[in-house]
Amino acid sequence: MIWVVAVVVFIMLAAALAVLFLPNMIAAVVASAVVSLSLTVIFAIVKAPDVAMTEAAIGAGLSSLILAIGLKRLGYWKTDSIDKVKAGERHD
């Protein structure tokens, strides 16, 4: 059981660092969705199913929806092509 916890915490921290350091904004939003995913599993592991369900509903559904609307209205929806990524364009 302890290795399951270790893997989930590792995924959570890696995704949280990716939120800060990924150059692209859509990628940052996707990484924050992964953070709430691992939080749901952690809440289920510490035997708090109510909190886990709240986090699942809000982190997976509503927060992604709100941030997606924000991405669309703030003009971050331009997908990057491969060469743009290699040139190192950064929304910052």
Partner 1 sequence: MNSFFTIEGILYFGAISLSIIGLFGLLVSKNLFRMLLSLVLFEAGANLVLVLSGFIRNGIAPIFLDGNSGAVMNDPVPQALVLTAIVIGVGVQALALSLIFRVKKHYGSMDMRTIRSKLEREIATQAGVTPPGSNEAPAPVKLVKGEAHE
Partner 2 sequence: MTKYSALLFISGLVFLLMVITGLLPMGHTPMLVGNAILEGAKDQVGAANVVTSVVLGYRGLDTLGELSILFAAASVVGLVLTKSSFNKHASNNDDKHDHHDSGFVAVNAIDLIFPLLLVVGMYIITHGHLTPGGGFQGGVVLAVAFSMLVIVRPRRVSINHGMVSIIESFAGVSFIVIGVVALFKGQSFLQPLLGHGEFASLWSAGTLPLLYLAVGLKVGAELAGLLLALNTDEVAS
Partner 3 sequence: MTFIEIIAMLLIGMSALIGLYRLIFGPTNPDRIVATDALNLIASVVLVLLALFFDSVLYLDVALVYAVLSFVGMIALARVIESKADDSSKEQEES
List residues near partner 2 by CB under 8 A: 49-50, 52-54, 56-58, 61-62, 65-66, 69-70, 72-73
Judged by beta carbon, residue 16 or residue 80, the one nearer partner 1 is 16
Question: From its phi and psi, is residue 88 left (phi > 0), alpha (psi between -120 and 50) or beta?
Answer: left
Q: List the Cα angle 27/28/31 in 5-degree steps.
A: 85
- Residues contributing to the site for partner 3 (CB under 8 A): 1, 3-4, 7, 11, 14-15, 18, 22, 24, 26-27, 29-31, 33-34, 37-38, 40-41, 44-45, 47, 49, 52-53, 56-57, 60-61, 63-65, 68-69, 71-72, 74-82, 85, 91
Q: List the Cα angle 67/15/61 in 5-degree steps.
A: 35
